[in-house]
Amino acid sequence: MALDPRLLAVLACPVDKGPLYYLGDDGGLYNPRLHRRYVVRDGIPVMLPDEAEQVDDAAAAALDARIAAGELTPTFAV
pLDDT of residue 50: 97
Closest to 77 in 3D by CA, of 3, 4, 8 = 8
Give residue-wise pLDDT tens across range 36-66.
Answer: 999 999 989 999 999 999 999 999 999 999 9
pLDDT of residue 49: 97
Query: Cβ atoms within 10 A of the Cβ of 25, count?
Result: 16
CATH class of 5-68: mainly beta
pLDDT of residue 25: 78
Q: Over 90: is that where the pLDDT of 26 sits?
A: no
49 Cβ contact partners less than 8 Å away, ≥ 6 residues apart:
14, 15
Domain ranges of the chain: 5-68
pLDDT of residue 45: 95
Task: Quote the pTM value.
Answer: 0.93
